Structure 1
Amino acid sequence: MDEVMIRQATHKDAQAVSDLLIVSQWFTYENLFSKNYIQKLIDQYYNVQRIRKEINSISVDWHGYYVAEQSGTIVGVIGGGMTNQTTGEIYVFYLDPSMRGKGIGTRLLTHYTKIQKHIYGATEQWVAVAKGNDYGIPFYEARGFIFQFEELSYGALEAELDVSLKYKREL
């Protein structure tokens, strides 16, 4: 396997990041969320124009995207921000479905966690995982995240019954 490089996304990565996020949304949520909700998320959050803007808008609230790149191809992406002075949150974290189980997700999470901890001062880290997400839940639990509560998924309508599980770990 070619070496995987973890780095901050640049403007030229916007299309590849968008493409990966769209493929990953359908792969991960196709049987969990309504098609309408998935498409709404894609249209609102994973379009190239928004990705470009988010790549260029780094702050405490949004640290930008970090990518895993192998042989010139983006195979993973993670992003998030601080929700208060000591709490980091992962807002976006997806891997090319064909790259699962190769340690790339763990490397991305480890790299990103170091950024939240050492640059932004996070002492705890949160993530929302779709209820029934049999890819994400075991991954996070194996890395020390502990279930806290469930809530309506971000941007979902109550009638859609799309629920997220909130997990936390101490850093």
Structure 2
Amino acid sequence: MKETDIEAIQHIAAISWHATYEGIIPRDIQKPFLQQAYSVERLKERLVNTNFYVAVKDDEVVGYANFSALHDNDEVELAAIYVLPSEQGKGIGSQLLTHGINELSPRAIYLNVEKENLVGRQFYEAKGFEITDSFEEPFFGHTLKTLTYRKVFTSSCL
């Protein structure tokens, strides 16, 4: 990701969040989260402090993945991976995930998914991620039912 991609990331985040969480997280809850998590300042911080990759198709950013190192540098968290709904199902999310794995060579990847996000869950489960935890958490006045997934890699898997 480059600083010039920020506006495209904000656009993808809003469209993808609305499509992904329709009927799961009310839009009036999504709005303050998106404003905070995808503000220009926050995205600039993430650009410097995390691994943020974009997928480009026909000179347009159509998806992104954001990885962060965890306490153990051999482990990473996949904080976000979103692709424009019109581009989903074309392997772009898989390519972003694979790129992050190849670049970072983690021992394990962790991520959180809202329990009712069945499309996200199916994507990660098809990639070999397994549920390791389940919990509820407050989210801008809404309660999320969150599942933690993990995938462990061996040197032969990389």
CA distance in 2, matches of 1:41, 1:152: 17
Q: Displacement, 1:146?
A: 0.3
Which residue is 2:53 aligned to? 66
Q: Which stretch has the larger CA shift, 31-40 or 20-29?
A: 31-40
Q: Displacement, 1:138?
A: 0.4
Q: Displacement, 1:132?
A: 0.9
Q: Is the 8 A contact 1:150 1:166 kept in 2?
A: yes
Q: Which stretch has the larger CA shift, 85-94 or 40-49?
A: 40-49
Which residue is 1:36 aligned to? 28
**Secondary structure of 2:89's aligned partner:** coil
Q: 6, 19, 25: which is aligned to 1:27?
A: 19
Identity %: 26
CA distance in 2, matches of 1:52, 1:17: 11
Q: Displacement, 1:69?
A: 0.1
CA distance in 1, matches of 2:30, 2:56: 25
Structure 1: gaps of 5 or more residues: 1-8
Q: Displacement, 1:162?
A: 1.4
**Secondary structure of 2:56's aligned partner:** strand
Structure 2: gaps of 5 or more residues: 154-158
CA distance in 1, matches of 2:121, 2:85: 15
Q: Displacement, 1:92?
A: 1.0
- Work out whether 1:79 is the aligned partner of 2:66: yes
Q: Is the 8 A contact 1:20 1:75 kept in 2?
A: yes
Number of matched pairs: 152
Which residue is 1:156 aligned to? 139
TM-score using structure 1 length: 0.82
